């Protein structure tokens, strides 16, 4: 009984830890900065520290190696066997099953993402007033549908989008401040569902089809 309680407590603790979102902090203002955080930990991914000295040491340690002739590998006939046995219909069905599995993965993956903050400020300029107005119209036609697609795909809480033409400057300005949350628990669930679906609907059917072809070929021989 104590062992069972210990195992259950470990499982519950593991699930609770996976329920805590991983946070991605994205800031762009002339240079991209990307941090990742989980619990009380936070790491900087971009920009990375200079590793020039480490690269120089690695280059010094590298020594020219003798060129080895690549060994000729026998081409696998498993794809040919499956095609010969199942035909175009079987290959098409296999592709459809793979696409359906990837669609399920994308749906669950998007469910694991939440945008806690999305602040975007853009100033559009041009060579003259007419060019500035044209650039502004083109940018709005591109960015606002993209923002709408993001809102329809994932949950966005704090959103501020500001796009304005600047007739007095010659340089475009862009500022982005976003915080993206990803749930490890939902993400792992999506991966397991995809793996289970892909194995049973794609891989098993594929290997069974190719094995049948091999048996038929051996009987003929």
pLDDT by residue, tens only, the chain of 221 residues:
677 777 877 878 777 878 788 899 999 888 888 898 888 888 888 877 655 555 555 555 555 555 555 555 555 566 676 666 666 777 777 788 888 888 877 887 888 889 999 999 989 888 888 888 888 888 888 888 988 888 888 888 889 988 888 888 778 888 999 999 988 888 888 888 888 888 887 887 777 777 654 555 544 44
Q: Looking at residue 57, what is its pLDDT?
A: 52
Q: What is the pTM of this model?
A: 0.65
User: What pLDDT shows up at residue 213?
Assistant: 47
Distance between CA atoms of 28 and 155, rounded to whole angstroms? 21
């Amino acid at each position: 009984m104590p062992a069972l309680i210990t195992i259950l407590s470990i499982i519950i603790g593991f699930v609770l830890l996976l329920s805590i979102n991983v946070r991605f902090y994205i800031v762009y203002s002339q240079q991209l900065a990307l941090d990742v955080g989980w619990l009380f930990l936070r790491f900087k991914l971009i920009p990375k520290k200079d590793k020039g000295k480490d690269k120089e040491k690695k280059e010094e340690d590298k020594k020219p190696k003798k060129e080895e002739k690549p060994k000729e590998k026998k081409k696998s006939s498993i794809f040919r066997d499956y095609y010969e046995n199942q035909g175009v219909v079987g290959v098409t069905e296999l592709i459809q099953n793979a696409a359906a599995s990837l669609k399920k993965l994308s749906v669950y993956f998007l469910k694991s993402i939440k945008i806690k903050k999305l602040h975007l400020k853009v100033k559009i300029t041009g060579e003259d007033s007419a060019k500035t107005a044209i650039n502004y119209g083109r940018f709005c036609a591109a960015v606002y549908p993209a923002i709408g697609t993001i809102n329809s795909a994932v949950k966005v809480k704090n959103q501020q989008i500001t796009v304005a033409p600047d007739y007095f400057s010659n340089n475009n300005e862009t500022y982005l401040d976003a915080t993206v949350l990803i749930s490890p628990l939902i993400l792992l669930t999506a991966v397991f569902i995809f793996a289970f679906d892909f194995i049973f609907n794609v891989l098993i059917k594929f290997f069974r089809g190719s094995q049948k072809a091999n048996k038929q070929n051996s009987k003929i021989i």
